[in-house]
Homo-oligomer: A and B are copies of this chain.
Amino acid sequence: MAVTLKEIARRTGKSITTVSRALAGYDDVGAETKTLVRRVADELGYTPNLLAQRLQKRRSDTIGLILPTFGPRFSDPFFSEFLAGVGNMAAEHGYDLLVSTQPPGERELQVYRQKVQSRQVDGFVIVRTRRQDARIRYLREIGFPFVAFGRIEGDMDFPFVDVDGIQGMRMIGEHLIGLGHRRIACLAPPADLSFAEHRLIGLRQALATYGLELADSLVRPGDLTQKSGYQITLQLLDSVQPPTAIAACNDLMALGAMSAIQERRLIVGRDVAVTGFDDIPMAEHSHPPLTTVHQPIYQIGKTVCDMLIRLLKGLDVTPHQVILAPKLMVRQSCGANMHRFTTEKGGGVTIA
């Protein structure tokens, strides 16, 4: 059977109280008693029963993370990296990470409510915020602790971390325009996502600076998967006036776009430029390497989790709203650096 405080108390001839306090290091326990208790506890391999501890302390020491999945073939390199960041930080502070998957919708909120009411978690990490985010509205309403990755529309008096999507996409836009592109298409995210808006605005800003406009026909909403990037790009390439550049709002769609372009026997970077957003590990090793905007996803996961833990511990959380500057990663899919891409070894055409 599991070893309990009671058992240690019996063996040391002390009371349960004393044993508990000895192990916790209180100084109303004698030095000898302390060492005795600790020795016996070690010998028996005592580990406190967390369930009991949590009931008594009235907190679960658990952080909730509910992944908004879409369908069974859910596979997002973005999330696995984020998860690692959150998970490691949580573990570092002795918190558990309770992970759930639930597509956005009616039931999603139920899950949050249930976890709150049954006191299963002490706080939530919210990912992929929506412009109108029912999760955030609910949690704020009841005053339940959470930290979001991403912003929302309207009142934003809550802790979050976000990357400046406007600036990121503006950099992409300016870079593409600098390379001579004028007909730029955008593979947009679902419109209800917060970052969708930002990224579109950023792209529009870049174009506006040069007196250009983003034609509605060139803004194509996808679902963030490689497949949708692929399909939309095929359509774009088959249109009467295909774009010369495709700015995808995430890397997965950008990779799909590259596949589509290559399938049409066109050269990415030369015939059509492609850019992404996220800088997932794969971006660096795709062919050609993907020009994109770097988000330190792992680090963001850690930061978000750290902020939440500070919040839970009642510590000061400043700044409680962090907007990170994105970093443009110019590689070859945009047509810049083509010399590297073509001459390095295998010969072939050199475009200086």
Q: With an 8 A cutoff between CB atoms, is A99 at the interface? A: yes
Q: Which of chain B's residues have a CB closer than 8 A to the CB of A259?
A: 285-287, 289
Q: With an 8 A cutoff between CB atoms, is A337 at the interface? A: no
**A303-315 toward B: CB 8 Å interface, digit per residue (1/0)?**
0000000000000
Q: Is B51 within 8 A of A69, CB to CB?
A: no
Give chain A's interface residue range (CB within 8 Å of chain B).
Answer: 35 or more
Q: With an 8 A cutoff between CB atoms, is A225 at the interface? A: yes
One of B79, B100, B347 near A91 (C-beta < 8 A):
B100
Q: With an 8 A cutoff between CB atoms, is A258 at the interface? A: yes
Q: With an 8 A cutoff between CB atoms, is A266 at the interface? A: yes
List A41-96 residues whose CB lies under 8 Å from chain B.
45, 47-52, 54-55, 60, 67, 69, 72-81, 83-85, 87-88, 91, 96
Q: With an 8 A cutoff between CB atoms, is A178 at the interface? A: no
Residue of B nearest to A97 (CB): B99
**A22-51 toward B: CB 8 Å interface, digit per residue (1/0)?**
000000000000000000000001011111
Q: Is B72 within 8 A of A101, CB to CB?
A: no
> Considering the chains assembled together, what is the distance between the CA atoms of A298 and B344 in angstroms?
40
Query: Smallest CB–CB gap between A292 and chain B, Å?
Result: 14
What are 13 contact pairs spanning A and B, CB under 8 A? A49-B118, A72-B85, A74-B84, A75-B78, A75-B81, A79-B80, A87-B100, A91-B102, A96-B120, A97-B100, A225-B281, A255-B286, A287-B287
- Please give me the 6 A-B residue pairs with the lowest Cβ-Cβ distance, nearest first: A265-B346, A47-B117, A264-B346, A259-B287, A262-B287, A75-B77
